[in-house]
Amino acid sequence: MPAPHPLIKPLLVHTGFADVAKLRHFKIDHHLVTALVERWRPEKHTFHHPVRECTITLEDVALQLGIRVDGRPITSATYYDWEEICEQYLGVVPPKGEAIVGSAIKLKWLQDNMPSLPSESTQQQLEAHCRAYILWLIGGVLMPNKTGNRVHLMYLTFLADLDRVRRYSWGFACLATLYREMCRVTNLDAKTMGGCASLLQYWAWYRMPFIAARVNRTPSYPLVTR
Per-residue pLDDT, averaged over 64-81, amounts to: 85
Report whether pLDDT(155) > 80. Answer: yes
Q: Of 43-52, 109-118, 143-152, 162-171, which has the strongest mean pLDDT?
A: 162-171
Q: How confident is the model at residue 75 (pLDDT cuts 50, 70, 90)?
A: confident
State the pLDDT at residue 215: 65
* Nearest one of 57, 30, 20 to 185, comparing CA atoms: 30
State the pLDDT at residue 77: 66
CB 55 within 8 A of CB 46: yes
Report whether pLDDT(121) > 80. Answer: yes
CA distance 181 to 42: 10
CA distance 18 to 28: 20
State the pLDDT at residue 217: 67
Give the burial string for 111-121 (b: 16+ CB within 10 Å, else e): eeebbebeeeb
Q: What is the mean pLDDT of the chain?
A: 88
* Nearest one of 149, 167, 162 to 89, comparing CA atoms: 162
State the pLDDT at residue 24: 67
State the pLDDT at residue 190: 82
CB 204 within 8 A of CB 198: no
Per-residue pLDDT, averaged over 124-153, amounts to: 92
State the pLDDT at residue 1: 63
State the pLDDT at residue 212: 81
Of the chain, the percentage scoring pLDDT greater than 70 comes to: 92
**DSSP secondary-structure letter at 159?**
T
CA distance 127 to 161: 9
Query: pTM for the complete prediction?
Result: 0.88
Residues whose CB is less than 8 angstroms from the CB of residue 22 and which lie 6 or more positions away in sequence, other chains included: none
159-195 tens-digit pLDDT: 999 999 999 999 999 999 999 999 999 888 888 899 9
State the pLDDT at residue 220: 59
* Nearest one of 115, 204, 102 to 145, comparing CA atoms: 102
How many C-alpha atoms does 21 have within 13 Å on its Cβ side? 22
3-state percent helix, strand, coil for the chain, nearest multiple of 5:
45, 10, 45
* Geometric angle at alpha carbon 72, from 66 and 77, rounded to 5°: 115
Of the chain, the percentage scoring pLDDT greater than 90 comes to: 62
Sign of CA dihedral 214, 217, 218, 219: negative
State the pLDDT at residue 2: 74
